[in-house]
């Protein structure tokens, strides 16, 4: 199972990297232009329309899973890096793993942090004003 998982992760990373390149966009645009230009040759038939609709639907459907896999791994890696920074700094260790909290707990923690940030900002403003007055 691990081999299959590694293969898919590698595949997802490669596809995600390629899908974000300008060349891929230009290739997709060229494909759509070729399809549009071919319309008169096929009499703008239902089959002609079905080709582009089916193709784009299938590609979009598959890309959702590939990009989600890549994004999930990136998010987990970023979270691990942040956890490491928290653990090795003076920050409160209670923030390690907060991504696993439910919505209400995250909102409450965010509110508490916003209040603390406001206090720090007020103290910084007071300090700046005191330094300006003493000059």
CA–CA dist 114, 131 (Å, integer): 26
Model confidence pLDDT, tens digit, residues 62-80: 999 999 999 999 999 998 8
Q: What is the pLDDT of residue 18?
A: 92
Model confidence pLDDT, tens digit, residues 14-65: 999 999 899 999 999 999 999 999 999 999 999 999 999 999 999 999 999 9
Phi, psi of 102 (to 5 degrees): -80, 175
Largest CA distance in the chain: 83
Q: Where are the domains of the chain?
A: 3-91, 101-134
Please, are residues 111 and 103 in contact by the beta-carbon 8 Å criterion?
Answer: no
């Amino acid at each position: 199972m691990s081999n299959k998982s590694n293969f898919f992760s590698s595949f997802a990373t490669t596809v995600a990297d390629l899908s974000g390149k300008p060349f891929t966009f230009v290739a997709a645009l060229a494909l759509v232009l070729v399809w549009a230009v071919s319309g008169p040759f096929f009499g703008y038939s239902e089959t002609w329309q079905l080709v582009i609709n089916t193709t784009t639907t299938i590609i979009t459907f598959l890309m959702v899973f590939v990009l989600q896999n890549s994004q999930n791994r990136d998010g987990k890696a970023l979270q691990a890096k942040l956890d490491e920074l928290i653990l090795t700094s003076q920050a409160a260790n209670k923030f390690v793993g907060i991504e696993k909290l439910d919505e209400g707990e995250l909102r409450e923690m965010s509110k508490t942090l916003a209040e603390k940030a406001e206090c720090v900002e007020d103290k910084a403003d007071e300090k700046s004003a005191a330094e300006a007055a003493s000059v």
